[in-house]
Amino acid sequence: MRRFFIAALTALLSAAGISGQTVIRLNEESDGRYTMNATVNGVGVRTYYAPESWYASMSTTTYLFLYENGYIADADVNGVTTVKMPNGSTDKGASFVIRNLRIGNVIVKDLPAFVVTKQTVPLVVGNSAFDCFGTVTQEGDRLIIDDRFPEDFQKAAPPVEETVDPLQSLVSRLNGHLDAEEYSEAADCFATLKDMGVLTMYSEYQYAMVLNILHRGDECIALILPWIEENRGKSLTLDYWMYDALGDCYANKGDKIRAIHYYEEAVSTYCRMFNTTEKEIRKNKFQDETLGYTLYDLALQYASISIRKTYYYASLAAKSGNAAAIDYCKKAHIRF
């Protein structure tokens, strides 16, 4: 997973002819947060406004989708650095630049940003995008910029009417279904894209995750097995999720042997990803809640096959912080 930092925020608003104020409309969500109509390098992305944030941050899922489909280029990525989060913690990752962020009728160019692994919303934009050009205030559902340098502002030109691209329209619908967690509809869009032969390595992974969520195990297996054969080793992160999904599929089918095999592959891949081992986990030198889920799933599959293996993986899952495994170990009097 990738996380990104900005050392200095130097957003550039394209110029010519606004004086006084620029107003951006905000949409109030049911949880009290505000979203903005925005596109990233020409792609519509659900965007949250966070006035307390002084950087732009993107979820891993959104970043990988944009990168794999060519909307973020290698030249946009600036390398690995460290960012201090609002809660005081620090994360390490690779920074990148949003070449063109359109919010309402305003265009922001070359906005530094970073990816936050645990972020669930697609994009968060703070005052860094606007503050160096004017005083930013929020009045209800309006974000108001009192222009400090009127000559440095320009409203975005009205969009040019174009012939609707059926492929782009389908991709837009797919993204909307994913954002709304409408997984059955998303699966239909993925199936159409697959028939068109345009799925990338990452979008096939997304399709597999959607099928797994819908418990369409046979379809999920049929998609993942060729994917692993073709793409194994290109991304340890995606390898891990694909192996884990296969474990889920076979577990749901009651095929414990195959489920165990793929859960073990997932654990091995995750350990390689973080350059650790099961021995290090036993020594409490590595703890990761995501890995804990897979370890506990593995323990459950061993339950009717090997008590020793069950206890072993349950204890590793507990050491990794998995709450269900901790509870299980306490009830079974297993040391961890």
- How many Å apart are CA 144 and CA 25, to the nearest integer? 9
- The answer on 148 and 195 residing in a single domain is no
- What's the whole-number mean pLDDT along residues 177-196? 88
Tell whether 6 is covered by a domain: no
- The answer on 173 and 115 residing in a single domain is no
Residue 154: pLDDT band with limits 50, 70, 90 = very low
Tell whether 189 is covered by a domain: yes
User: In total, how many domains does the chain have?
Assistant: 2
- pTM of the predicted model, to two decimals? 0.55
Domain boundary among the residues 122, 152, 182 is at 152
Question: In the prediction, which pLDDT does 166 show?
Answer: 64
Contacts of 211 (CB under 8 A, 6+ apart): 187, 217, 219, 220, 223
- What's the whole-number mean pLDDT along residues 74-83? 74
Containing structural domain, residue 97: 12-152
- How many Å apart are CA 129 and CA 116, to the nearest integer? 18
Domain boundary among the residues 152, 182, 204 is at 152
Question: In the prediction, which pLDDT does 162 show?
Answer: 43
- The answer on 325 and 190 residing in a single domain is yes
- The answer on 232 and 144 residing in a single domain is no
- How many Å apart are CA 126 and CA 295, to the nearest integer? 38
Domain boundary among the residues 104, 129, 152 is at 152
Tell whether 281 is covered by a domain: yes
CATH of the domain at 58: 2.40.70.10
Residue 287: pLDDT band with limits 50, 70, 90 = confident
- The answer on 99 and 74 residing in a single domain is yes
Tell whether 7 is covered by a domain: no
- The answer on 107 and 225 residing in a single domain is no
- The answer on 224 and 121 residing in a single domain is no
- The answer on 192 and 122 residing in a single domain is no
- The answer on 322 and 176 residing in a single domain is yes
Tell whether 4 is covered by a domain: no
Question: In the prediction, which pLDDT does 18 show?
Answer: 33
CATH of the domain at 299: 1.25.40.10
Percent of the chain whose predicted confidence (pLDDT) is above 90: 31
Tell whether 59 is covered by a domain: yes
- 324: pLDDT strictly greater than 80: yes
- What's the whole-number mean pLDDT along residues 13-21? 37
- 302: pLDDT strictly greater than 90: yes
Tell whether 252 is covered by a domain: yes
- 1: pLDDT strictly greater than 60: no
- 334: pLDDT strictly greater than 90: no
Tell whether 157 is covered by a domain: no
